[in-house]
């Protein structure tokens, strides 16, 4: 059975939206509300298909959309969630307030993916690339000059991208918002602290990915830290805490604490510099092999002595348990699945 495409129609316009079209769409949605997208073009007097209207609204015009540079903590969450959920952009977007799945997807494909590859990490598996045992780190091991004004502007100021989309466009000029202009060539150098940050995040992402992979193969019981990694005397208390672990629904703090953060993204007063300080203090006894992002770093990072071991175990195993419980993977159809393997 072939479904008729929703956007088949004579004279339907495609391509970039003009400010005039945006105005019509916005006023129409204000009047009639969201939904009923098939009727929206007619109500708004637009020669667009409903789907196009919905996308334009959802990805660009919706008033509570946050635009502009992704913060470091947002990057971490993207990397972390991508490691555990893959290209589930909508799922990732649910944990990044005011970001759209499309924007996250674009950001991943154009920035984070490349950065991770440069670090010698497979962006799909989040494991070290076998073909690149000595990943280059030149892009990240820069002069460590934190006074670099460019870098400061990256994290401290409001990007022009936050400006309203139509602020400079004539009504009939297809919009290519100012954000594009300001965001071009954001090859900002990363300080070593940023490199540490990325390593830390990716390390935890990789560890979660490993745990997930292992659990999917039914080998969790024999290979996870929970059962075999110096934790034979895992306490009942810890087990209880793990049973209650739900990094998504319990608290945003738990997600963030898993990657070394104690903050709330929705709190606009969050001071990221405090986080960096906190992180750098944790890095005090770490290896200097920061830019390499190699296997040793990954493992040493995960088993960091700067954090209570039980806490690490709770977080990592809690993550894996959560992800197993909430995975789209259907164990019932997996013949190898043995429920007893999962605690």
Partner DNA sequence: AACAGTCTCAACCGCCTCGAG
Partner DNA sequence: TCTCGAGGCGGTTGAGACTGT
Residues lying near DNA in the complex (CB under 7 A): 1, 3-7, 13-17, 35-38, 48, 50-52, 54-56, 58-60, 87-91, 101-103, 105-107, 109-111, 114, 174-177, 179-181, 183-187
**Pair 213, 127: CB distance under 8 Å:** no
| Minimum gap (Å) between residue 299 Cβ and DNA | 29
| Minimum gap (Å) between residue 238 Cβ and DNA | 33
* Length of the chain, in residues: 343
Quick one: 30 or 185, whose CB is closer to DNA?
Answer: 185
Quick one: 163 or 229, whose CB is closer to DNA?
Answer: 163
| Minimum gap (Å) between residue 101 Cβ and DNA | 5
Cα separation, 170 vs 205, whole angstroms: 45
Cα separation, 37 vs 33, whole angstroms: 10
| Minimum gap (Å) between residue 309 Cβ and DNA | 34
| Minimum gap (Å) between residue 100 Cβ and DNA | 8
CA dist 16 → 42, 105, 138 (Å): 19, 19, 38
CA dist 136 → 121, 256, 284, 302 (Å): 11, 28, 23, 21
SS3 content of the chain, % helix, strand, coil (to 5): 50, 0, 45
Quick one: 6 or 240, whose CB is closer to DNA?
Answer: 6
Cα separation, 73 vs 55, whole angstroms: 26
Nearest residue to 205 via CA among 293, 82, 329, 72: 82
Residues 6+ apart with CB under 8 A from 278: 260, 261, 262
Taking each helix axis as running N to C, give the angle between helix 295-302 and helix 192-216, from 0 to 180 degrees, rounded to the nearest 10: 80
| Minimum gap (Å) between residue 163 Cβ and DNA | 12
| Minimum gap (Å) between residue 183 Cβ and DNA | 3
- Angular region, 316: left φ>0, alpha ψ -120 to 50, beta rest: alpha
């Amino acid at each position: 059975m072939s479904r008729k495409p929703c956007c088949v129609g004579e004279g339907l316009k495609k391509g970039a939206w003009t400010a005039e079209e945006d105005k019509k769409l916005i006023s129409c949605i204000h009047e009639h509300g969201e939904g009923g997208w098939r009727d929206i073009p007619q109500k708004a007097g637009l020669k667009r298909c409903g789907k196009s209207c919905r996308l334009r609204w959802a990805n660009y015009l919706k008033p509570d959309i946050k635009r502009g540079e992704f913060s470091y903590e947002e990057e971490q969450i993207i990397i972390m969630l991508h490691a555990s959920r893959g290209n589930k952009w909508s799922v990732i977007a649910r944990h990044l307030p005011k970001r759209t799945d499309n924007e996250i997807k674009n950001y991943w494909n154009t920035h984070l993916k490349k950065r991770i590859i440069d670090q010698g990490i497979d962006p799909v598996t989040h494991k070290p690339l076998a073909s690149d045992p000595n990943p280059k780190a030149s892009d990240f091991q820069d002069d460590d000059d934190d006074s670099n004004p460019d870098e400061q502007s990256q994290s401290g100021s409001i990007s022009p991208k936050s400006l309203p989309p139509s602020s400079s466009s004539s009504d009939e000029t297809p919009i290519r918002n100012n954000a594009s202009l300001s965001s071009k060539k954001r090859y900002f150098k990363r300080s070593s602290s940023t490199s540490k940050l990325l390593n830390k995040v990716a390390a935890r992402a990789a560890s979660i990915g490993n745990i997930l992979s292992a659990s999917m193969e039914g080998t969790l019981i024999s290979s996870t830290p929970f059962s075999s990694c110096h934790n034979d005397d895992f306490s009942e208390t810890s087990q209880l805490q793990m049973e209650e672990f739900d990094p998504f629904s319990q608290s945003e703090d738990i997600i963030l604490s898993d990657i070394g953060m104690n903050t709330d993204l929705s709190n606009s007063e969050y001071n990221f510099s405090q986080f960096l300080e906190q992180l750098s203090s944790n890095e005090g006894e770490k290896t200097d092999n920061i830019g390499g992002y190699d296997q040793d770093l990954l493992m040493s990072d995960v088993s960091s002595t700067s954090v209570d071991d039980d806490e690490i175990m709770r977080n990592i195993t809690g993550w894996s348990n959560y992800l197993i419980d909430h995975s789209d993977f259907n164990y019932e159809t997996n013949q190898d699945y043995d429920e007893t393997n999962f605690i």
